[in-house]
Amino acid sequence: MTNATELTRMRGKPMKGQPAMSDSEVAAMLTAVPGWAVKDGAIEKTYSFGNYHETLAFVNALAYVVHLDDHHPDLMVSYNRCVVRLNTHDVNGLSMNDFIVAAKANALYAQR
């Protein structure tokens, strides 16, 4: 099984033509990304911050990191929180790329 540290070292891959992860694969991968949950065909987590500046700093850092993996989450940003939502459009579901970005988001949040 892949753990969070391994996921943060991985890079996203093109997924066009690949199958989405099965429910059991998703359940197993969720153990590697604490705080993330399946919601409406995606994985999602809310990160809380002390103020708007901290929230935007996280959003900007995450945008840079995920751009390198060419996998871009939906972000809902407010004053002191950011909801990060991931799925892979090319597979019409969840892929390893989603869990790689989730682990990197958790690692960024831990560094603040």
Structural domains in the chain plus CATH codes: 37-112 (3.30.1360.20)
pLDDT at 13 over 70: yes
pTM for the full model?
0.96
Q: 61-81 pLDDT, tens per residue?
A: 999 999 999 999 999 999 999
What mean pLDDT is predicted for residues 45-50?
Answer: 98
Best CA proximity match to 95, nearest among 83, 104, 86, 103? 86
Predicted pLDDT of residue 47:
98
Alpha helices by DSSP H, listed for 1-51, are: 4-9, 23-30
User: Mean of the per-residue pLDDT values for the chain?
Assistant: 96
pLDDT at 1 over 80: no
CA distances from 104 to 24, 34, 90, 109 (A): 22, 12, 21, 9
What mean pLDDT is predicted for residues 91-95?
Answer: 97
Q: What are phi and psi of 22, to 5 degrees?
A: -75, 165
pLDDT at 103 over 80: yes
Helix (H) or strand (E) holding 108: helix 96-111
Report the distance separating Cα 36 and Cα 30, nearest Å. 7
Strand order in 37-39's β-sheet?
37-39, 42-48, 81-86, 74-78
